[in-house]
Amino acid sequence: MNGGMRSFGLLEDGRSVEAITLGSDDGVQVEVLTYGAIIRRLVVPARGNRRDVVLHFDRLEHYERDRAYVGPVVGRFGNRIAHGRFALDGVMHQVTVNEGANHLHGGALGFSKRLWRALEVRGDRVLLALHSPDREEGYPGNLDATIELTTNADSLKVRIGARSDAPTPVNLTYHPYFNLAGDFRTPATAHCLRIPASHYLPIGAGLIPTGEIAPVSGSTFDFRLSRRLEPPPPNSHPQLALAGGYDHCWVLDDGADCSCELVSPARDLTMSIRGSGPGLQFYNGQFLARAHPRLGSGVILEPQGLPNAMNEPRFPDAILRPGETYRAEIEYQFSS
């Protein structure tokens, strides 16, 4: 990939989208779009070669039409909110319902369909910004968000910040589909995965957590030791039947060394993800081919806060208040 900034085309409404490439030819390189802050390309050193590790489209129009969230930041609240409703300081709020009866990844458009501004660009760093007005998708408060991406020899670091003038839920994370094999046709389920989590969140209808924080011990949800991530048949476990495979949030152990570790099918490339959130959403990509049959196979691994947290008293608070700064960090580190 060539460094710097280039045009990636025009949106249907005529606005221009830029592609910004960071990093060096012998280290980690990332291409990020100003549309959706999308991580379009992530190229890493692997056994003396260079390897693409995230699924991507060639044209902007595919990103505009995409509903599988291929590579963007998701928010104002990533993951799901039951019925799109939550009470905040005694007031009931209704946000956009865009996945059955529930709210997903910020709503009908959300941050993944917004045009971000590039405030600063240099060889290994970009700073993007977005203003989300009060009542956008139903959320209270004017919110200003920033995303800083920085590359070095073996990692991509992401720092996310936000401030609001009224109390509002915030849960921002990235949604790339990973495939470390070097060939996106290789099933992502052939990778090995480790998640240092002794508990996960069982789901009910609509993939909404039930509120239970369940132990993984003795179940197919135990990834504390690295193993092939391919799920058993959905009919082997009621939780797998509800999601068609894995699409759950794990609650990371205190002192966990990472959020997860993904190893390529040939065991020649490892990605460690470290996130500041207490949860990790793992989706094995079972429905991606329905939306994009030619895109390839990928797996989603999202460090984040816990889904539907505003409606679950046992979950960590997800409300950003005036005078506070929301901060989230994700680091993708590679070794071969």
pLDDT above 90: residue 193:
yes
Average pLDDT over residues 112-138: 97
| Per-residue pLDDT band at 224 (split at 50, 70, 90) | very high
pLDDT for the residue numbered 1: 79
**Residues acting as catalytic residues:** 175, 302
| Per-residue pLDDT tens over the stretch 58-89 | 999 999 999 999 999 999 999 999 999 999 99
Mean pLDDT taken over the chain: 97
| Per-residue pLDDT tens over the stretch 137-168 | 999 999 999 999 999 999 999 999 999 999 99
pLDDT above 90: residue 95:
yes
| Per-residue pLDDT tens over the stretch 230-264 | 999 999 999 999 999 999 999 999 999 999 999 99
| Per-residue pLDDT band at 2 (split at 50, 70, 90) | confident
| Per-residue pLDDT tens over the stretch 269-295 | 999 999 999 999 999 999 999 999 999
pLDDT for the residue numbered 187: 98
| Per-residue pLDDT tens over the stretch 42-65 | 999 998 899 999 999 999 999 999
Distance CA 29, CA 255 (A): 30
